């Protein structure tokens, strides 16, 4: 059960931990195939280098794939790793309990 931990999953979790990266993923989800420059424009409060670093993390986690087109590099969202995490790990916790428990939550926390 704990054997369901893989390096890939760890990378995905770590990549997902940063809000900027989630934003980037969101941007890519809204419109695929963006160039690096376009992605940088998506996060204006950070320099190009910072954004590219985040994109690099996402690529290494397999959440984003890229392909060069002349002098630009286009980025594409890859939802498969997220799906794997959801499937193998999150649903394990979420599925059995959550649906019924969402309403009872405050009752459960009474002891704190």
* Partner from a copy of itself, DNA, none contacting 93, C-beta within 5 to 8 A by type: a copy of itself
Considering the rule CB under 7 A, would residue 50 count as an interface residue with DNA?
A: yes
Stretch that binds DNA, among 25-33, 69-77, 84-92, 99-107 (CB under 7 A): 69-77
Report the distance separating Cα 80 and Cα 50, nearest Å. 25
Cβ atoms 9, 89 nearer than 8 A: yes
Smallest distance, Å, CB 62 to a copy of itself?
A: 9
Stretch that binds a copy of itself, among 33-41, 47-55, 85-93 (CB under 8 A): 85-93
SS3 content of the chain, % helix, strand, coil (to 5): 70, 10, 20
**What 3-state class would DSSP assign to 103?**
helix
Between helices 19-30 and 7-16, what is the axis angle to 10°? 90
Among 73, 78, 84, 89, which residue sits at the site for DNA (rule: CB under 7 A)? 73
Which residues are within 8 A (CB) of 37 and not within 5 positions of it... i.e. 6 or more apart? 48, 72
In the bound state with DNA, the residue whose beta carbon lies nearer, of 73 and 84, is 73
Interaction site with DNA (CB under 7 A)? 14, 17-18, 20, 35-37, 40, 46-50, 52-54, 57, 66, 70-73
């Amino acid at each position: 059960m704990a054997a369901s931990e893989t390096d890939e999953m760890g990378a995905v979790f770590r990549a997902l931990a940063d809000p900027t990266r989630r934003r980037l993923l969101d941007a890519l989800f809204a419109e695929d195939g963006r160039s690096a420059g376009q992605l940088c424009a998506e996060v204006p409060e950070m320099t190009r280098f910072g954004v590219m670093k985040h994109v690099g993390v996402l690529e290494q986690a397999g959440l984003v794939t890229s392909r060069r087109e002349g002098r630009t590099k286009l980025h594409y969202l890859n939802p498969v790793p997220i799906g794997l995490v959801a499937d193998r790990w999150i649903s394990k916790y979420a599925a059995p309990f959550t649906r019924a428990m969402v309403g009872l939550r405050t009752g459960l926390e009474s002891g704190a």
